[in-house]
Amino acid sequence: MASAAEQLAANLNFSAFSKAEELKKRIWFALGALLVYRLGTYIPLPGINIEALQQAIQQQSQGLLGVFNMFSGGAIGRMAIFALGIMPYISASIIMQLMTAVVPTLEQLKKEGEQGRKVINQYTRYLTVVLAVVQSYGIAAGLEGAQGGAGASVVSDPGLFFRLTAVITLTGGTVFLMWLGEQITSRGIGNGISLIIFAGIVAELPRAIAGTLQLGQQGSISTPAMLAIFAITIVVITAIVFMERAQRRLIIQYPKRQVGNKMFQGDSSFLPLKLNTAGVIPPIFATSLLLLPITIAQFYATSGDLGFIATITSQLGRGQPLYLFLYGALIVFFVFFYTSIVFNPTDTADNLKRHGGFIPGRRPGVQTAEYLDYVLTRISTLGAIYLVIVCLLPEMLFSNAPITVFFGGTSLLIVVSVTMDTVSQIQGHLLAHQYEGLVKKSRLGGRRK
């Protein structure tokens, strides 16, 4: 009986999808935009010796540079025009959100609604350009001093012209990706920025799996270790799905109300609070902050000119205590920080009071806000612990294994979470389309009568 019901639901969804022309246009637009992004990751910067670059990067592939290469969809390994990826925009978003919490002017803009949000977004774009220029210049200067395994220079013709060309190209690539992500969000399906990172990870995932299997064939990884890697990966994916769907539902009661001569019985509903309200934002933000100073340092460290930078980069390698501590601490910080931004207990309590709703056993207003803050703090603590375990456990287990960073918890978290979010948005569009069909049918039926 259950299987028949599931099959019927699947048929209904497929039938609704075939008729939802607007949804199909959005999906095709998103796929086309992601295809443009992937093509850009294969267009290299002018004046780059690709073989020497790959040899230089291979030495740091298991560190933070490997993580950055994963987020850029392999563009770092090819030093493509999208090598900076979307990370400067994410860093700018972090800075603007932090400033919004401490600068009164920005805080007032945030309270102005849609118009204020547009102004803050514009400031974020300007800051993105500044960060992209700084990072791209550092990368260009670092590339001039980097050398491959045979001593070949990465840059064919170093100098001011190369630096200027690299800065313009890399900054333009980041600005284009920022615009492309916004277009996907508004005209496509899902969150554009998250989908760009998702596409980069998924595109490189088959190569990562093939590389891991090849290491097993060569004997670099034993068969039990291979089985353990895939088993832990499945367990982590299962845990992510379970935790991302977990909710704490608070019962909301509405009193009886009289409309005219009729008395309506008090209704009840629930307020869903996700266990992980911040989603994939904390790991992405934490990685972005760790990559911001290290990205340039990695290229300088390859030349061996600055010993203290090489020491810093070695301490921030996979499995190193400093890297694990900073990564976990930043994840915990951004869980609470981002949750406080997206969910305000005081505003929620005021909205419930305005509409006559209340939580049983709690007085409307201040007491309700305090209770919501108490519950949100508890579930956010669990969410932070969950994110830290998911992101750090594979790093600690596989730090000494010669496997790719694509099997890390961060990449799995992004892939699974973005997939679930995109599917839920598609289901929302399908549901809205079905409602529109029902409304049209009811209007036609009324006219016939």
Contact 186, 197 (CB under 8 A): no
214 lies in some domain = yes
218, 221, 227, 231: CA torsion to nearest 10: -130
Where helices occur in 146-265 by DSSP H, the ranges are: 160-187, 192-218, 223-245
- If you average pLDDT over residues 365-380, what whole number do you get? 88
Which comes out higher in pLDDT, residue 433 or 346? 346
pLDDT for the residue numbered 4: 40
pLDDT digits (tens, 9 = 90+) for 190-239: 888 888 888 888 887 777 777 777 777 777 777 777 787 778 888 888 88
Q: What is the CATH number of the domain that holds 169?
A: 1.10.3370.10
What does the block give as tokens for 93?
């978003």
- If you average pLDDT over residues 137-151, what whole number do you get? 71
Q: How many residues does the chain have?
A: 449
pLDDT digits (tens, 9 = 90+) for 424-439: 888 877 777 666 665 6
- What number of other Cβ atoms are within 10 A of residue 82's Cβ? 29
Which comes out higher in pLDDT, residue 6 or 83? 83
371 lies in some domain = yes
150 confidence band (pLDDT: 50, 70, 90): low
pLDDT digits (tens, 9 = 90+) for 22-67: 888 888 998 999 999 988 888 888 877 777 777 666 655 555 556 6
Percent of the chain residues past pLDDT 70, beyond the cut: 73
Nearest to 408 by CA among 215, 194, 204, 190: 204
- If you average pLDDT over residues 342-371, what whole number do you get? 82
221 lies in some domain = yes
User: What's the predicted TM-score (pTM) here?
Assistant: 0.76
pLDDT digits (tens, 9 = 90+) for 282-331: 888 887 777 765 655 555 544 445 555 556 666 666 667 777 888 889 99
pLDDT for the residue numbered 390: 85
438 lies in some domain = no
Structurally, how many domains does the chain consist of? 1
175 lies in some domain = yes
354 lies in some domain = yes
324 lies in some domain = yes
Nearest to 30 by CA among 206, 181, 142: 181
First-to-last alpha carbon distance for the chain, in angstroms, is 38
68 lies in some domain = yes
- If you average pLDDT over residues 411-432, what whole number do you get? 82
Which comes out higher in pLDDT, residue 148 or 341? 341
Parent domain of 121: 23-429
10 confidence band (pLDDT: 50, 70, 90): very low
